[in-house]
Structure 1
Amino acid sequence: MVQLITQGIKVSIVTRFEGAYYEDIKTQYAFSYTITIENQSEHTVQLASRYWEIRDSLNAVEVVEGDGVIGVQPTLKSGEKHTYSSGCLLQSPFGSMQGYYRMINFSTNSLFKVAIPNFKLNAPFAVN
C-alpha cells in the first residue's frame, strides 16, 4: 500500500495485476487499483476533478483528466472516506501512475490540489 497526506487529505492506494490480453497482435497488461480518500482535516471538502500520468516501461505516457472519479464527485466531511476502484492497460508489464485531485474546501470556498503518490504497477511474473 502507498499512502500520502496533503492538506489533511490522505490518499491510500492498493494495486493488483489482472492479467495479459492480446489485441491486434499486441500484448496489453491489465492492472487494477483501489484508492481510498480520507478527509483527516476539519473542513468539508469535495473532489472536483482528477489528473493522472500513466507511464509504462517503454516510456509511453498517457495523461487522463476529467471531472470526479468513476462518475462521482464525492463530498467528504471531516473523518469520512471514499473508496473506489479503477484500472488501466499498459504496453509493458511494468509501469507507474501519479497525479493529483482538485478539491474544493467548503470552509474557504477555494480549490486546492491533493497529490496522488507515485505507485508502481508490476506484473508478478516479470518481477526479478
Structure 2
Amino acid sequence: MSDAPEPIHVHVTTRYLAERSDPDHGRYAFSYTVEIRNDGKRPFQLLRRHWLVESDNGHKQEVSGEGVIGQQPRLEPGHSFRYSSWTLLQTPTGHMRGRYYWVDDQGNGFWAPVPPFFFEVPGTRVLN
C-alpha cells in the first residue's frame, strides 16, 4: 500500500440543500457530486473511502467505509465515475476532504487524496 501519486483525478461540486436544512437547530445540509477520472494506462477499482467533514465551529466528523454509495467502481483507462451524496454541518459554512483507496488488477493498492472542497449557504460569506 502506498501514497504514491497515481493518475486518479477527482472533481467535486457542492450545493446547499435548504429543504433538508434546519438552521434554527444548527443543521445545514449540503449535497456534493464527485467525478472521478482514471487518466492512467491501467484499470483501478475503488475499494474504500475516508472523509473528514468539518463545520466552521470546529466540529469534526470522520466517515470511513467500503466503496461509495454502495458501489466499488472499476475505472478503465480514460473512463470516469460520477456519484452524488450529502452531509450535514452544524454551521452555514464548512469543508470536507478525504481519500479513496484503489487497487489495480495485480492487487497493488494506493490512496488517492481528495483535496478540500467547501460548503457555503448562499449569502453567508463575509468579505473584508
TM-score between the two structures when normalised by the length of structure 1: 0.89
Partner residue of 1:22? 22
Task: Structure 2: give runs of 5+ residues left out of the alignment.
Answer: none
Identity, in percent, stands at 34
Q: Runs of 4 or more off by more than 2 Å in structure 1?
A: 20-23
1:121 aligned onto 2:109 = no
- Structure 1 residue 124 displacement after superposition: 1.1
- For each residue in 1:95-125, what CA deviation from the matched residue of structure 2 results, as whole angstroms up to 9, or x when unmatched? 000010000011x421101101101111112
- For each residue in 1:9-59, what CA deviation from the matched residue of structure 2 results, as whole angstroms up to 9, or x when unmatched? 110111111126339x61300100100000000011000000000000110
RMSD of equivalent CA atoms: 1.4
For residues 51 and 87 of structure 2, the distance between their equivalents in structure 1, rounded to whole angstroms, comes to: 11
1:77 aligned onto 2:76 = yes
Task: Structure 1: give runs of 5+ residues left out of the alignment.
Answer: 1-5
User: Matches of residues 63-74 of structure 1 in structure 2 within 5 Å?
Assistant: 63-74=62-73
Partner residue of 2:92? 93
Partner residue of 2:54? 55
Secondary structure (helix, strand or coil) at the match of 2:123 reads helix
- For each residue in 1:67-88, what CA deviation from the matched residue of structure 2 results, as whole angstroms up to 9, or x when unmatched? 0000000001101110000010
TM-score between the two structures when normalised by the length of structure 2: 0.89
